[in-house]
């Protein structure tokens, strides 16, 4: 009986070690990784997200972070070149933030890449991007 319990404990410890090792290997750069979702067309929400991003970089150091902002749904209009917060998005990208737009939303809203802020990235599906990043261990923030 004791041998059986010991084997189970060793097996459980082995599984835990594999899980910990896998989590550490997912980000061997040591950087904090966070993805922000903005799906609202409200400039105040965008400013809040951009302020949060700036605070993360300020507190942890831009070189110590990997930050992505994904926009889809009604919020994607704020990635247009003529959007009220376009300059703040450009500043965030200059500070190392990856900003991506959902191509599914763009198709549904009949938006073209030449309407968008220069040098943003694109993903097929914003929601899937969020899912993949979370699966990879990224922190998820939706202001």
Protein fold of 31-141: Hypothetical Protein Ychn; Chain: A, (3.40.1260)
What are the tens digits of pLDDT across the range 46-64?
999 999 999 999 999 999 9
pTM: 0.80
What are the tens digits of pLDDT across the range 76-118?
999 999 999 999 999 999 999 999 999 999 999 999 999 999 9
Do the beta carbons of residue 45 and residue 38 sit within 8 Å? yes
Q: Where are the domains of the chain?
A: 1-30, 31-141
φ, ψ of residue 20 to 5 degrees: the values are -65, -45
What are the tens digits of pLDDT across the range 5-47?
445 544 444 443 333 333 432 356 899 999 999 999 999 999 9
CA dist 78 and 41 (Å) reads 7
Residue 69 CB partners (closer than 8 Å, separation 6+): 35, 36, 37, 38, 49, 53, 92, 97, 98, 99, 100
Give buried/exposed letters for 99-126 (b at 16+ CB in 10 A, else e): bbbbbbbbeeeebeeeebbeebeebeeb
């Amino acid at each position: 009986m004791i041998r059986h319990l010991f084997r189970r404990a060793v097996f459980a410890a082995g599984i835990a070690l594999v899980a910990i090792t896998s989590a550490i290997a997912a980000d061997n750069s040591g950087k904090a990784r966070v993805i922000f979702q903005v799906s609202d067309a409200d400039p105040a929400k965008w400013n809040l997200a951009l302020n949060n991003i700036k605070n993360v970089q300020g507190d942890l150091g831009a070189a110590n972070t990997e930050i992505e902002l994904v926009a889809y749904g009604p919020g994607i209009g704020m990635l247009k070149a003529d959007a009220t917060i376009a300059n703040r998005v450009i500043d965030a990208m200059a500070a190392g933030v990856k900003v991506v737009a959902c191509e599914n939303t763009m198709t549904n809203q009949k938006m073209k890449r030449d309407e968008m802020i220069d040098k943003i990235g694109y993903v097929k599906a914003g929601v899937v991007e969020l899912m993949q990043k979370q699966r990879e261990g990224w922190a998820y923030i939706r202001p």
